[in-house]
Amino acid sequence: MTKVAVLGGSGYAGGELLRLLLVHPACEIQTVTSRQYAGEPLYRVHPNLRGVSMLKFQKPSPDVVSNCDLVFLALPHGKSASIVPDLLSRGMKVIDLTADFRLKKLADYKEYYGWEHEHPELLKEAVYGMPELHRNEIKNSRLIAVPGCMATATILGAAPLIANGLVDHGRIVVDAKIGSSGAGITPTIATHHSERSGSVRPYKVTGHRHVAEIEQELNALASQEVNVAFTPHAVDMVRGILATIHLYMKQNLTDKDIWKVYRSRYGEEPFIRMVSDKKGLYGLPNPKVIMGTNYCDIGFEIDPHSNRIVVFTAIDNLTKGAAGQAVQCFNILHGLDERTSLSQYPPHP
């Protein structure tokens, strides 16, 4: 039984992580921290956990993790970098849900996040926690950086076509739509219900921070440098992401050609589902039918008029886009079935 701590457990990603870990047969939560809610029971912040656990939030300190084997970090971006070296020096493994160790290039933190990294020596060691691309590295890592949610949706959708050199690497256009939970638990004027409901709002139209992750991971698969144009939209739903990825073919491809590429890379993946159904209600990926799960649904259509493949990916931003992917990495790290604690099916409708 692995003893774990969750630092920063009062946010949405932290709450989703607790939901998954509390029923995990191979881990035991020792402590959950929160400065604001120290002393309060978990269900005071996460009402879905009422009757599930008697744990209370604790004030963060080095002592609260002293008996842990592994620490999950669900802190705000920029807060993990300063504490990870101490955790590693004490022999603990770390799965970090923040952006602090996702990027390999030091300069990218200044450009995309606006701060200097405190411990750049750990950037090379940190493993990008996307099992579909880095499973073997995750197995032996002591520091795993869980990918960003919109980066996850985009990378998983584009990776097979990029890796096989079938599309123009210099022209990748992504339109991502995300639910309000992606903005975090602290409300702002822009995330206020009366402003968000009934609207579709583009934001950070250029230079979004997830571009750095997307290009980093796709470049590692490509024969030449990729260029990604990425624009997110805030939409009127609570959870979920739908990424529409426009890729331009280098040669004429058929549906059969593309299916073969995706099946070759993802055919054995437990959480990738290919969706292309001409008869069903949801003939292409839709976030509605993957809520609360670790699935990533992928579908596509060919547009011969513009020589384009339109790829669609749907994930739950809090599960496959954060906590679920973290638990999947935990399972790989400990030699467990990757589906452990992640095998639930989504409800419908």
Encoded amino acid at 295, one letter: Y
Residue 195, classed as helix, strand or coil, is helix
Strand order in the sheet with 296-303: 201-202, 228-234, 167-178, 241-249, 308-315, 296-303, 272-274
The secondary structure element, H or E, covering residue 193 is: helix 193-196
* Residue environment code for 226-253, b if the CB has 16+ CB neighbours within 10 A, otherwise e: bebebebebbebebbbbbbbbbbbeeeb
Q: What angle do CA 327, 329, 330 make, to 5 degrees?
A: 60
**Closest Cα to residue 35, out of 54, 53, 64, 58?**
58
State the catalytic residues. Answer: 149
272 has which bridge partners?
296
Cis peptide before 160 (omega within 30 of 0): no
Contact 229, 176 (CB under 8 A): no
Q: Which of 199, 284, 280 is nearest to 244 (CA)?
A: 284
CA Rg, the chain, in Å? 20
Q: Whole-angstrom Cα distance, residue 252 to residue 300?
A: 15
